Structures are given as structure tokens and as C-alpha cells.
Amino acid sequence: MMEIRHLEEIITTVQGRIPRRLVAVNAVDDHTLEAVNAAVDRGIVRAILTGDRGQIETTCASLGIDPEKFTIEDVAGEEGAARRGVELITEGKADLMMKGLLSTDKYMKAILNKDFGLLPPKGVLSHVTVMENPGYHKLLVVGDVAIIPYPDLAQKIVMTGYLIRTAQALGIEKPKVALIAATEQVLTAIPACTEAAIIAKMAERGQISGALIDGPMALDVAIDAESAAIKKISNPVAGDADCLLFPNIDAGNVFYKMSARMCRSEQAAIVAGARVPLVLSSRGDTMQTKLYSIALAAMLG
């Protein structure tokens, strides 16, 4: 498989595969329905929609979308729509799940409901974003910008694995992972530095495989070869990272929103760690972002 360097290539890659079965939870809003409709038209998925049938059909009519191309599960309320979505996954009737117009906490509550077993025992859910930034020479796989506020060392090790596997699915045989902190120095007063150093040493000793991993590493060194050269940091990751593991949600979320709003980046995002890939787009995300996220979930699922 050739390395994917643009988000549009994810769509063209999955178009040649058997369409996955997507359930879109409370799919009553314009952006969700437009994205799901585009994914169906492009042969990426077959779609089930949960939510109020009347509201779904009204929105479809306003968008000029034929609701007959979807299977609609008529369910009242956000929580009911989320619960039905999880049920369809556990019943083996859907392969992927997507958040529509409902709050993240209600979506996650349904996913974490132990009655359905969507999260394996001791599982770690983490948000993974594939970003196409006009200022960078290739795609960036980053995490976590949305779910785990302050991951501990054990969680960071699992999250590193999610980034690696996502990058490999994009055709990057041996991804370069930068463990982001405020400095390249191993400062014991900064947990992000010491934990990054531990993960890097684990990778060096073969405890984490499939990638080149280095850290701690400041963001400029990770993504800018000139900055790395000025700081005299010479290793395969510096200036050419494929993956960025952020130390906490503050750093990750600021990077994500700065890239999207000021750099005009596009992105695809999923939640890893459940039995199936989960699409967790923001209610404010564009239709295109949601379409890319569906395609990424289909690729990983």
C-alpha cells in the first residue's frame, strides 16, 4: 500500500472495499446527514440513522436528500438514540458508530455502558486525529485532543500504540512518533518530560514496536527541520514526525483548534479503543471533516 498523504486519498482507498455498516446516532442535523449521505453515495458505507424519524425526514427534505437510502431507527431523545446505536453494534448489525447532534457526554455514556461491552475490560478510549495542515509536508496523526484530560504513563503507552496503528493504516510502514513536551531536556520537575523519556526508552528496548519514537520533544523540533538543526537535535523523528502524542488535553486541544481555525487544516477523527471505530466529530465540525472521519473509521474498521 502506498503512503496516504492527503485526506481525500483515504476516501479513494476505502471506495474500493466492501461498504461498512455505519450507525449515525441522533442523525437529525444538516452536517451529519450531508456527510453520511456523501459517504453512502461514494460507496464507503451503508447507513442506519437513529433518532426522531420526523425530524430526520424533515432535514433530509430541506437538503434534497432521499431518506429511503438510509435505514431509519425511530427513537425519541438523544439518550435513546445513543443507546439504540450501541445496541446495533452489539447485535452485529453495524460495524462503525458516529455521533450526530448530541452532547459528547451522552454519546460516551452509551459507549461506556457495561451492559453492552463496547469497551473491553481495562480498555482505554482515546481520540485520534489525522490532520492535513497546509503548513506541513504530510499528514499528522495526533492525540489526544478530546477525551483523556491528563493521561498517566500507562495510558500514554496505549495511546502511542493507537497513533502507530493509525499511521500504519495510512501506509506508513515505520511511523515517526514525537512525544511532545515543552522542552527536549529531561526535567524531573515536568512529568511530561520524564514520561516521554520512559516511553522513548521502552521503544529503544523493543517494548514498543513498529515505530521510531523520541521524546521529550518540543513541538517546533518535532515538525520543523530548521528548528531541530538550530537546536542541534539530530534523529529520524526531529523535523519529520508522523505522529504527535500530546502530554495532556490542554496542549492537544489548543493545537487542534489553532490548526483548524487559523491554519485552515482539515482533519479526520475517531475514537480508538472500543470494539469498533467510533466517529466523534464536534457539533461545529464541517461536513467535509465528518466525511473524512467516516472514511477513516471505515479504513480502520
* Same-domain check for residues 237 and 199: yes
* Same-domain check for residues 84 and 138: no
Q: For residue 281, what is the domain's CATH number?
A: 3.40.50.10950
Q: What percent of the chain has pLDDT over 90?
A: 90
pLDDT at position 280 is: 87
**CB neighbourhood size of 69 (10 A):** 13
Q: Are strands 266-272 and 176-180 parallel, antiparallel or unpaired?
A: unpaired
Q: Does residue 176 register a pLDDT over 70?
A: yes
Burial category of 150 from C-beta neighbours within 10 Å (exposed 0-12, middle 13-18, buried 19 and up):
exposed
- All three cell numbers of 98: 458516529
- The verdict on residue 75 lying in a domain is yes
- The verdict on residue 268 lying in a domain is no
* Same-domain check for residues 177 and 282: no
pLDDT at position 143 is: 93
* Same-domain check for residues 232 and 283: no
User: 216: cis peptide before it, omega within 30°?
Assistant: yes
- The verdict on residue 267 lying in a domain is no
Dmax (CA) of the chain: 62
* Same-domain check for residues 130 and 253: yes
* Same-domain check for residues 254 and 140: yes
Q: What is the pLDDT of residues 72-130, one digit of tens each?
A: 999 999 999 999 999 999 999 999 999 999 988 899 999 999 888 899 888 999 999 99
Q: DSSP H helical segments within the chain, as ranges? A: 7-15, 30-41, 53-63, 78-90, 104-112, 153-169, 191-204, 219-223, 225-230, 249-262, 287-300
Half-sphere exposure of 69 (CA within 13 A, CB side): 17
Terminal C-alpha separation, the chain:
17
Concatenated DSSP letters of 37-59: HHHHHTTSEEEEEEE-HHHHHHH
* Same-domain check for residues 141 and 58: no
Q: DSSP H helical segments within 48-94, as ranges? A: 53-63, 78-90
* Same-domain check for residues 178 and 214: yes
Q: What is the pLDDT of residues 6-41, one digit of tens each?
A: 999 999 999 989 999 999 999 999 999 999 999 999
- The verdict on residue 269 lying in a domain is no
- The verdict on residue 55 lying in a domain is yes
- The verdict on residue 246 lying in a domain is yes
* Overall domain count for the chain: 2
pLDDT at position 301 is: 85
* 225 contacts: CB under 8 Å, gap ≥ 6: 238, 239, 240
Predicted confidence band at 51 (pLDDT cuts at 50, 70, 90)? very high
Range of the domain at 102: 7-119+274-300
* Same-domain check for residues 139 and 97: no
* Same-domain check for residues 34 and 74: yes
pTM of the model: 0.93
Instruction: With beta carbons less than 8 A apart as the criterion, state whether 192 and 200 touch.
Output: no
pLDDT at position 16 is: 83
Q: For residue 156, what is the domain's CATH number?
A: 3.40.718.10
3-state secondary structure at position 238:
coil
Q: What is the pLDDT of residues 204-238, one digit of tens each?
A: 999 999 999 999 999 999 999 999 999 999 899 99
Q: What percent of the chain has pLDDT over 70?
A: 99
* Same-domain check for residues 59 and 114: yes
Rounded Cα gap, residues 102 and 81, in angstroms: 9
Q: Does residue 283 register a pLDDT over 70?
A: no
- The verdict on residue 48 lying in a domain is yes
Rounded Cα gap, residues 258 and 46, in angstroms: 33
Q: Does residue 54 register a pLDDT over 70?
A: yes
- The verdict on residue 284 lying in a domain is yes
Rounded Cα gap, residues 211 and 177, in angstroms: 7
* Same-domain check for residues 256 and 144: yes
